[in-house]
Amino acid sequence: MNTMQPFVPGATRRKPAHVPRAPLSRWSEIKIWWREIDRVLIGLVLLLMTLGTIAVAAASPAGADRLSTSTTTLDPLYFFWRHLAWQALGLATLFGISMLSRGNARRFALLMSGVMLVCLILVPFIGVEINGARRWISIGMQFQPSEFLKPVLAVAMAWVISWRMRDPNLPVVGIATGLAALVALLLMMQPDLGGTILFGAVWFVLVLLSGTPVRRLGMVIGAGVALLTVTYFLYDNARHRIDAFFGGGTAYDQVDLAARTLTAGGWLGAGYGLGIRKMSLPEAQTDYIFSVIGEEFGLIACGVIVLVYLAIVARVLTRLVDEEDFFALLAGTGLITLLGGQAFINILVNLQLFPSKGMTLPLVSYGGSSTIAVCMLVGLLVAITRRNPFLKSRTKGLGEFLSFGQANPMSDTPSDILRKTARETRS
């Protein structure tokens, strides 16, 4: 029997009843997560963390010796055992956040941005001062709000800039610039010049990809140079670090010692536990762990570390080549800029090519809350770059950004290209 109702012109057709989907089991969610994440990226990150664990074991005796007193002698592997515990918490954070959907990862980042921004504002009032800088808050455990704020705020700024796809007239760049300026001001009050420069680089990359005209970018670069010049004359911390780097002094002595330690082992290194110069390094297990790797495992091992970082950056950018979500493109690029930039600066400091900044080597150096913050960054990166492998991209993602200047360099900005591609896809 045919139960279909005859079509009557002008009549309203009733929509079929919505049948709710049964919720997925936990095992099904895990299988979907495993299928959609970038497993190569996860493997590279785990490799780097493993190499970092070995490096912390080598650097731990130097750090323990510096903290030991006439009445208290720390275990030579004191930092190694603590590092294992922090890494376990970091891995739990990484995999937990990576299981979030792209939308939930964005919501998490927005919530964390608000919480950490409030904490950063409170640092000058209730913060703990260590080595002349007030950057930490102590609530049972000490943590540095800026370490947690940078990755989540990068995602938040990417979300704000992505509004341009809905309405090109929205002042999204101005809003993002205001957020960046506020954070930079709070960081300089601590003082944290290195963190300010790193976060400024993330902001610049996001503004560049937002489609800002070349002339405005030139004005931004000029303003940045002028700001650094003013900072040199008005900001004592920056002036002392720059003067010490070029003219000698305490900070320069540390960087010089790190460079000498780095090359002391030659190509193959002195061997695990046989390094001597590392015992004189300040913060051997954190800021100068790259030099410890050079002394005990050789310059070849240092080269391997650099190659792994480059592979991580290249893998993420390759993943973004076919990304058709403007927000994911911006957020992924901002996060990998943050991770790669921090590693780049730390390595340059150890090579005596950059003033000392007090930055750790991400995923390698010993750290407490900083380890969790870096793992949170990687977790957000994995969650945002999740993709169904069975769905074919209909746009070229980052590929359009790399070639947009060839098509129409005077009028076609990256955001223009994405809007055109979106219209073509809908049609």
User: How many structural domains does the chain have?
Assistant: 1
Q: What is the pLDDT of residues 127-182, one digit of tens each?
A: 787 766 778 887 777 888 889 999 999 999 999 999 888 877 888 888 888 888 89
Please compute the mean of the pLDDT values over residues 341-365 and round it to a whole number.
88
Q: 321 falls in which pLDDT band (50, 70, 90)?
A: confident
> Is the pLDDT at 248 greater than 80, yes or no?
no
pLDDT at 420: 55
Q: 228 falls in which pLDDT band (50, 70, 90)?
A: low
Residue 317 CA, distance from chain mean position: 14
**pLDDT > 90 in the chain, percent:** 38
Please compute the mean of the pLDDT values over residues 11-32 and round it to a whole number.
67
> Is the pLDDT at 404 greater than 50, yes or no?
no
> Domain for residue 12, yes or no?
no
In which domain, by residue range, is 313 found? 44-387+401-419
pLDDT at 407: 42
What is the residue whose two structure tokens read 């003219």? 247
For residue 38, report the phi and psi dihedrals to the nearest 5 degrees: -85, 95
> Domain for residue 38, yes or no?
no
pLDDT at 416: 55
> Domain for residue 39, yes or no?
no
> Is the pLDDT at 408 greater than 50, yes or no?
no
Side-chain half-sphere CA neighbours of 403 within 13 A: 7
> Domain for residue 23, yes or no?
no
> Domain for residue 270, yes or no?
yes
What is the residue whose two structure tokens read 């299928």? 35
Q: 347 falls in which pLDDT band (50, 70, 90)?
A: very high
> Domain for residue 8, yes or no?
no
Please compute the mean of the pLDDT values over residues 14-25 and round it to a whole number.
61
Q: 427 falls in which pLDDT band (50, 70, 90)?
A: very low
Alpha helix stretches (DSSP H) within 3-76: 26-36, 39-67
The CA distances from residue 57 to 295, 353, 402, in Å, are 14, 26, 42
> Domain for residue 373, yes or no?
yes
What SS3 class is residue 128? strand
Number of Cβ within a 10 Å radius of residue 288: 30
pLDDT at 322: 80
> Domain for residue 197, yes or no?
yes
What SS3 class is residue 129? strand
Q: Which two tokens stand for residue 218?
A: 């030139």
Q: 411 falls in which pLDDT band (50, 70, 90)?
A: very low
For residue 235, report the phi and psi dihedrals to the nearest 5 degrees: -110, 105
